[in-house]
A and B are shown apart, each in its own frame.
Chain A
């Protein structure tokens, strides 16, 4: 290990020190401005808010997947919800036989939901993976505001082939609980003035064709991550 020693003062530093020693110490305007600037610059080192998500996407795991593996076994919840056309959909059986990406969110969500859904829709398109090969299911955690029409028009912003489901709050909470996920929580008013923000799981859960949850993609997954993982999902989970 290298031993560190204080650097030898430069000529300028020595001259400045000599000058300082000769005159009474009184902070000048320049010093105060420098201190103010230093304080401001130091204050600038941190992010503007406490949210800390890397903008560089997910790190590939040792197996090459970007999605994080689940250690405990979980299966597709048993829950009967409604499709946007009113038909009853049993989560556990309706998507059996096809790998499925399941996401709990709400249409007034300002950040996580549209980012996840846009990333998946774009990556499906770019990777050439069809919605017959992988089901993408959006379950609303805000049944009060999310009417079938609203869910349908919301998903149309990403891809009309995504499946939108809704159900009573208790049914959705139960479905979340089966996956060891917390229920939706009202977090307070939306700063944009659009009702309340609702806290909900931020990850997309991936189920194989047998309905077993194998991986999750937390918020921060980018299209490039999905492009890596979607072909594997089709190949390995079907």
Chain B
């Protein structure tokens, strides 16, 4: 059996934590090997060691059977290891070829020769890249292929993909899967870092699962179910399906009519209309940057729309300041908890009153009531299972991402809002925390409240939503019932193709 990469008994300690504890990873030549683990399990550390960014405290790295010292990323590159980063490292006003040769010297940097070579490689691997196109003119999926091409052009034999599907539409994901299969067919080996079990199931040969810095197992994907892999990753039995009863939609809570919002100088949201009723979860599906942010900012009052109206409980809130909207029954779990959701230098208890500090009982005549603030914090912390070293006094920055998110979710739900806007409520969280937050959102719905869920995770949208609205290029494509649709249909709509028109388009 030939291994292209072997990492044996790798150990890496950071002050206070063991990031990698005796982890071994063996990748066979020509296989797709998935690396599965929750956030903070040690995946990135392990890959950084393989790439020469960190030195392991102990352990051995072998490439094609030869022991090597990975002192810096250049060594990794010269040994044929390439990484396709989650955040693309491309220069937008350069052409594809210029980006590919960036940083190279001599023969390889010759644009004319490179263009030819890129064309050849592109055909060989089925990438369909146009070498002379500018990065800013091509789609996100295509940009990712440029990243892959960069590695191929540098003769990488082992390609590491870091969460490659996070930014792609379902169709693009399918294309990527085909490309990965082509790569393997042509003799390359792949490591796929992900927490999406479905993708592992679809494409990987073997999967190494790590949890809290320890290797749990390496399994054959064909012989292991998604459930088994998830349980190994989390360390307990998790449920994927959110238990929920039939929705009982009531009155219209949020009524958006012909809303248009400018983002800088162009319209990010165009003539958008949507209703959300009490007792239902409406999911807004779409690829990132298609108008979701503009919509949410307009509803929450952070930007003023150009035209159109927003009604909450029948009251026009289009021009109201943020605080009045909050008082009218609006709560908002923001996309970026560290930028918008929390004051990181404040304690948890101070963060939990961020929208209510001026009200009784938290203050009276401008004087804060510390006891009431602490009491409120203790209650929310217990209800929402926020774990913090020094309880409600802990500064927010000392909490893990999951607990920060729980604090934000706790604050927003605790305000008992008529409308809850949840934007990417589980971004970057592990399976356990996701399960918990999903339950809370459904609970909110069952209590007769309206929930607008904005998410890039199609699974999350499909799982939770009673109705699904799809947005593309700032326009509403369509609204469909959650139980009468499927991922393919939503995925197609995310590219702007309407349901009835499916046949004409294809």
The answer to whether A and B come from one shared complex is: no
A residues with CB within 8 A of B:
none
B residues with CB within 8 A of A:
none
